[in-house]
């Protein structure tokens, strides 16, 4: 079992997941309303390019999302997506990628609990915490 965050966007889910895919080096899976097979239900009243579901998979965990069918997406508040990097260099690489066009809250630095930890909000309004596991 695992926890997998599901994010809602306002008409830019595909763009966001293409961005996340490029940062993490993972091909995103994107299903648009136009991909619904004949006879199946899509998102009512939504245009063909609206994203019904998007995901990237990393070691059995998923970051998932869709365009908000209500269209307002709402503010993304009260949570952070946490990513544990393989090492400090990977933490810096992922952090820098996600920070492109976003806002850094805490630059990646060594802390008493992690060799590399940082916080940011990406250009899509998603809050991230990037860390590495402490040395054994």
d(CA 103, CA 123): 7
Q: Sign of torsion, CA 3 59 20 101?
A: positive
User: What are φ and ψ of residue 53, in 5° steps?
Assistant: -160, 135
Give the integer Cα–Cα distance in Å for 98 and 61.
18
Question: At 72, is the pLDDT very low, low, confident or very high (cuts 50, 70, 90)?
Answer: low
Whole-angstrom distance, CA of residue 36 vs CA of residue 58: 25
pTM of the model: 0.88
91-112 pLDDT, tens digit per residue, is 999 999 999 999 999 999 999 9
Which domains are delineated in the chain?
6-67 (3.10.180.10), 81-132 (3.30.720.110)
**How far, in Å, are 27, 75, 114 from residue 32 at the CA level?**
16, 23, 39
State the pLDDT confidence band at 56, using cuts at 50, 70 and 90: very high
Quick one: three-class SS letters along 104-123? Answer: EEEEEECCCCCCCEEEEECC
Helices (H), 1-136: 13-24, 88-99
Which of 87, 89, 98 shows the shortest CA–CA distance to 120? Answer: 98
Residue 74: what pLDDT? 66
The pLDDT value given to residue 77: 75
């Amino acid at each position: 079992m695992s926890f997998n965050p599901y994010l809602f966007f306002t008409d830019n889910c595909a763009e966001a997941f293409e961005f996340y895919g490029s940062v993490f080096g993972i091909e995103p899976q994107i299903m648009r309303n136009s991909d619904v097979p004949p006879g199946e239900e899509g998102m009512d009243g939504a245009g063909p390019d609206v994203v019904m579901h998007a995901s990237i998979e990393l070691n059995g965990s998923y970051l998932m999302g869709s365009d908000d069918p209500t269209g307002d997406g709402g503010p993304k508040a009260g949570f952070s997506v946490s990513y544990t990097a393989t090492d400090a260099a990977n933490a810096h690489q992922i952090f820098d990628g996600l920070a492109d066009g976003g806002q850094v809250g805490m630059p990646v630095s060594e802390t008493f609990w992690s060799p590399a930890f940082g916080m940011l909000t990406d250009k899509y309004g998603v809050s991230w915490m990037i860390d590495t596991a402490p040395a054994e």
